[in-house]
Structure 1
Amino acid sequence: MNLVIVESPAKGHTIEKYLGKDFKVAASFGHVRNLPKKELGVEVDKDFEAKYIIMPKSRKTITYLKSQLEKADKLYIATDFDREGEAIGWHIVQALRLGQSKKRYSKNQKNAIAKIFRITFHEITKTAILEAVKNPRDIDMNLVNAQQARRILDRLVGYKLSPFLWAKVAKGLSAGRVQSVALRLIVQREREIDKFVPTEYWSVEATLSKKGQKDQNFKAILIEADGKPFGELEIKTAKQAKQILVELAGAKYQVAAIKQEKKPQYPFPPFTTSTLQQDGYYKLKFSAKKTMKLAQDLYEAGYITYMRTDSTNLSWLAINSMRKYISANFGEKYLPAKPRVYKSKKAFIQEAHEAIRPTYVSNEKLKIKNEK
């Protein structure tokens, strides 16, 4: 039997459908280890060594995973493909006390696990899962250490600065690696706003229509008067604006020229995590938390690719699938000669991911319980 460990039962259920009877999929229910709550948990003088403990909520889970491991010949860690997922996988291995050796043994020493396999995928589809199982790798300690560095910094900043805030400012306040810096930026911006001195200015706009066609009008903005551009005109008071209106009231107007130009309208780039959250708010009034929860559900059900990404890249397999769908359903005239490729401005670790997209462009309806 091959044991596959993922974070959530929903994700596990979807993956299990694509694997054969030789595979058992179990969930860790997220992180299984963390720094202790009642102490710093970081040995600063010992190269920032972290003291991890198995979380109380995870003790039964670890016991269950150990019991399943005793029946297994191979262990596959299939947590999410990012820093956090890599760290969760590493913590699972440590909690199961398998260490980092090349040979793993279960408690009764009867079943030797030849290797711990790390498998990753951008989407939960049959093709992606089977391809991942065919091409496993080791746990990437660079990703694990990147996550640990963030976690340790969170603990050091929060544990050291929060008590200072309680003593000097007010009880219940908290400091954080990200929130404290963000708060400073907000304060700086607010101070700039407070210093701003508003200046009164006016603009003049006319609603005009062609003679004999009063039902068809258009608007024109005053940009020049007596040879002076609007910038130099400087209508600073209501009195000045009214005087200009009096002068313009009896004037005759004519269209001096008509200029037409074509402006190409480009499609928006594929979704990243941040643009997905922004659209979730602007179009649906969803909070970032709600958007990510729904995206997580869709990902685990196999409907979209991984939802935590900074990348606007799309796989060529996905692009070709979309092009075939457009050609078959809308016609060749809607199919561009070449696919549009978006380049990200910065390269992050998450750049290895694809953008967020539907796994199958042909899906027109969700087949999950919480469809809404």
Structure 2
Amino acid sequence: MAKYLVIVESPAKVKTIKKFLGNNYEVAASNGHVRDLPKSQLGIDVEHDFEPKYITIRGKGDILAKLRKEVKKADKIYLATDPDREGEAISWHLSKALKLEERKNVYRISFNEITKNAVKASLKQAREIDMNLVDAQQARRMLDRMVGYRISPLLWAKVKRGLSAGRVQSVALRIICDREEEINAFIPEEYWSLEAQFAVPGEKKLLNAKFYGNEKGKMTIGSQEELDWILESLKKENYQVLDVKKGERVKKAPLPFTTSTLQQEAAKALNFSTQKTMRLAQQLYEGIDIKGQGTVGLITYLRTDSVRISEEADFAAREYIQNAYGEKYTSSKEENAKKSGAKIQDAHEAIRPSDITRTPVMVKESLSRDQFRLYQLIWNRFAASRMSSAVYETTSIKIGAGEYRFHVSASKVAFEGFMSVYTSEDDEKGENNLLLKSIDTNTKLTLNGLEEKQHFTQPPAHFTEASLVKTLEELGIGRPSTYAPTITTLLGRRYVVKENKNLYITELGEAVNNIMVEAFPVIVDERFTANMESLLDKVADGAIPWKTVVSNFYPDLEEAVQAAEKDLEKVKIEDEVTDVICDLCGRNMVVKYGPHGKFLACPGFPECRNTKPYLEKIGVNCPKCGKEVVLKKTKKGRKYYGCEANPECDFMSWQKPSGEKCPECGGYMVEKGNKLVCADNQCGFVKEKQK
């Protein structure tokens, strides 16, 4: 009979860990959390020192009953939940639910990877539950509960039932809304590029150079008139090389992946959503049945913001690279220590393969296509992080044409280093032909042709999942475990939709954000949320008691909620009645909010269930056919302006048309903030909006 019981979170780990530990050990799974705050109420006793009221999660009773039986049989119990705050809290909840505090031989163990060595080593480092980590998780859970349970009912009253506010979610929503406003208010500015092709004495190949400016420095060509003036001047000039600089540039190997950088790179390179990346990484971490090896955990723990690597893994990686690529390609130990920076004491490592010698090719047959692609990305990035820097040869040429200057800069890879294993979109691929060899200072050049192009400045890019994760991380909002669930919630609630990787705000998202910004400015303030994250970190470090954080937060939230409730009482929220008649029962239809925004519904519900799309007229005639322009939505929920006569008339605009004609070109004007702008970029006419 087994003497020892090991309790893990996920059933997927049970078989693997049992195989590592042998017959003396029984391994059982809790299936994640077993206790939580009740769904039916706030679950926090604000009158009595903010004590949380935990209950057994519905459906977990049977699991706990089985675990209690195993606990009775065991001499020693090891709580082996995930190695983070959430995992520590699950161990503590298990300890409470199974009454393990009454037992002596109960230990907490954690491992960063599911390998035989790591699991066995964790038994030798068994410890007590770290209550600082538990308290940090409790504080986060309670803060999130307070925001969700106190603010969500106000959204139900004001917009529609089923909506939710969240501490991190609402800030992320605001960040996306603010970017959308920036894009909508953006006014393009004209500029021109000018490129010259030169014949070089003794060379067949032409030399391409870009206009840089004049002898005083860099210039932007802002208009056709300016360009024509420069072109006229250049006709009279002689062209000569003024300076040739040759050099070397070193590109350092990338750091191994953290949760955030893995999500960003998987989105860019593999087109994975953050949720998909985390799901696949979880599978690779928990274990895959590899032919000839059995079930093996292929990567280390997936929730981490550390770039640290254990000494053993570092040594094994450099040894592997030396054998596979040669000493020249292997970075020194000192370089790697520098890269890890000040976080050398982090509890977690970066995300890496559990065994560098288990190459992607070796396990390809045993993995699904997407599992393989993610494992390959992680393996390549880790291998690259232990390799030498790439070296580029660079050449920079300055060409004089009277007072004007043209520049040529080129580079080619002299030594690939880490790039023989890993390149990202940001890495230059280099040019095979560095530059014409016969060019030197004072070389006379013959102008072969000039090519000008008109451009317009572009608005800020819409957020993608990758760029939103990067922004949240840079602002200190959320933690590795929260990025994917935050984005999933925003998409799930239809506050945001995704089209071609880009995230767009929906009408519903806009309505929720407007209420949050107006009634709860502190909750959606980036600095406040980032500061709250650092307070939770201090709780985890044992520097601040968790109830201090919670008790300081609640009164201000309560005050804001009460003020918002009073404001809402003044506004009697009634359905907006329209002049559209229900064709089933003859009543005037009313405007309602649904998952996709506004729609028309019969007020006779539930007797009459008739609904229609709501086409919101904006008081502007269609520039194409003269009928009315209405606010519409794409299938996914993104707003645009189109003609009510569609499909006969195909007019559409992402910006709101103003109804005014452009005095320059006769086209239609659109509203951008307090300005009216010609919809045709080539025209570029702008004027102030009349008040």
TM-score range, shorter-chain basis?
0.7 to 0.9
Equivalent position to 1:341, from 334, 337, 344: 337
Letter in 2 for 1:237: S
CA contact (8 A) 1:222 1:230 kept: no
What letter corresponds to residue 324 of structure 1 in structure 2?
Answer: E
Partner of 2:210: 221
CA contact (8 A) 1:312 1:342 kept: no
What is the RMSD computed on CA atoms of the aligned residues? 2.3
Tell me the CA shift for residue 360 of structure 1: 0.7
Matched with 1:165 is 155
- Unaligned stretches of 5+ residues in structure 1: 105-113
Farther-moved stretch of structure 1 (333-342 vs 129-138): 333-342
Aligned 8 A contact 1:200 1:236 in 2: yes
User: 2: distance between equivalents of 1:345 and 1:323?
Assistant: 19
State the one-letter code of the partner of 1:244: I
Partner of 2:324: 329
- Give the 3 Å change call, closer, same or farther, for CA 328–228 of structure 1 in structure 2: closer
- 1:346 Cα deviation after fit: 7.8
* Partner of residue 107, structure 1: none
SS in 1 for 2:333: coil
Q: Report Cα offsets for 1:324-348 as digits up to 9, x if no partner.
A: 2122222222223434225567869
AA paired with 2:363?
L
Q: Which runs of 5+ in 2 are unaligned?
A: 288-296, 370-691
Contact between 1:9 and 1:29, CA under 8 Å: does it hold in 2? yes
CA displacement at 1:90 relative to structure 2: 1.1
Give the residue type in structure 1 aligned to 2:154.
Answer: F
2:305 is equivalent to residue 305 of structure 1: no
| Matched-pair contact (CA < 8 Å) for 1:33–1:91 | yes
Aligned pairs for 1:11-50 within 5 A: 11-50=13-52
- How much does 1:217 deviate? 3.2
- Cα separation, 1, equivalents of 2:216 and 2:72: 87
Structure 2 residue 201 is matched with structure 1 residue 206: no
1:367 to 1:208, Cα distance in 2 relative to 1, 3 A:
closer
Pick closer, same or farther for the CA change 1:308–1:277 going to 2, 3 Å: same
Alignment counterpart, residue 352 of structure 2, candidates 357, 364, 367: 357
Choose the corresponding residue for 2:90, options 88, 91, 97.
88
Question: Quick check: 1:145 aligned with 2:135?
Answer: yes
CA distance in 1, matches of 2:7, 2:170: 36
Partner SS for 1:185: helix
Determine the C-alpha separation between the residues in 2 that align with 1:348 and 1:154: 31
2:6·2:77 contact (CA, 8 Å) conserved in 1? yes
Cα gap change, 1:209 to 1:120, in 2 (>3 Å): farther
**Partner residue in 2 for 1:111:** none
* Cα distance in 2 between the residues matched to 1:269 and 1:74: 40
CA distance in 1, matches of 2:71, 2:129: 18
- How much has 1:173 moved relative to structure 2? 2.3
Aligned to 1:244: 230
Give yes or no for contact 1:313–1:342 (8 Å, CA) kept in 2. no
| C-alpha distance in structure 2 between counterparts of 1:40 and 1:265, whole Å | 53
CA–CA separation in structure 1 for the residues paired with 2:338 and 2:329: 19
For residues 86-131 of structure 1, the C-alpha deviation after alignment (integer angstroms, 9 at most, x for no partner) is 0111111212133x34xx2xxxxxxxxx311100111111111111
The CA deviation at 1:172 is 3.1
Structure 1 counterpart of 2:164, one-letter code: S
Match of 1:155 in 2: 145
Show CA shifts across 1:171-195 (max 9, x none).
Answer: 3321001011222333344444444
**1:224, 1:138 → 2: CA distance?**
67
Whether 1:317 aligns to 2:312 is yes
SS at match of 1:156: helix
Cα distance in structure 1, aligned partners of 2:192 and 2:242: 25
Aligned-residue identity in percent:
50
2:272 aligns with one of 280, 286, 302 = 286
AA partner of residue 222 (structure 1):
F
- Partner-residue secondary structure (3-state), 1:317: helix
CA distance in structure 2 between the aligned counterparts of 1:336 and 1:153, rounded to whole angstroms? 45
Work out the CA distance in 1 between the residues paired with 2:304 and 2:164. Answer: 28
Q: Is the 8 A contact 2:191 2:222 kept in 1?
A: yes
For the Cα contact (< 8 Å) 2:255–2:339, is it kept in 1?
no
- In structure 2, the partner of 1:108 is none
Query: Which residue matches 1:274?
Result: 260
Q: Secondary structure at the match of 1:39?
A: coil
Matched residue SS, 1:289: helix
Moved more, 200-209 or 270-279: 200-209
SS in 1 for 2:77: strand
1:15 positional shift = 1.3
Residue 504 of structure 2 corresponds to which residue in structure 1? none
How far is the alpha carbon of 1:369 from its aligned partner? 5.1
Q: Does 1:2 align with 2:4?
A: yes
| Cα deviation 1:238-266 (Å, max 9, x = unaligned) | 23213423443564433222211101011
Question: Do the aligned partners of 2:308 and 2:343 also contact (CA within 8 Å) in 1?
Answer: no
Q: Does 1:134 align with 2:124?
A: yes
- 2:170 matched to 1:180? yes
Asked if the contact 1:269/1:342 (under 8 Å) is kept, the reply is no
The answer (yes or no) to whether the contact 1:304–1:358 under 8 Å persists in 2 is yes
The AA in structure 2 aligned to 1:187 is C
**Does the CA-based 8 Å contact 2:308-2:344 persist in structure 1?**
no
Give the aligned partner of residue 97 of structure 1: 99
Aligned equivalents of 1:139, 1:228: Cα separation in 2: 66
SS in 1 for 2:27: strand
Q: Distance in 2 between matches of 1:197 and 1:219?
A: 32
Is 1:123 the counterpart of 2:125? The answer is no
2:65 aligned partner:
63
When structure 1 is superposed on structure 2, of 6-15 and 157-166 the one drifting more is: 6-15
Amino acid at match of 1:49: E
Whole-angstrom distance in 1 between the partners of 2:325 and 2:344: 36
Q: Distance in 1 between matches of 2:36 and 2:249?
A: 54
Matched residues in 2 for 1:367 and 1:134: separation? 34
Change (3 A) 1:217 1:191: same
Task: Tell me the residue number matched to 1:73.
Answer: 75
1:16-58 deviations in Å (ceiling 9; x for gaps) = 1110210011111111111111111111122221111111221
Deviations 1:344-367 (A, max 9, x none): 678699x32011111111002238
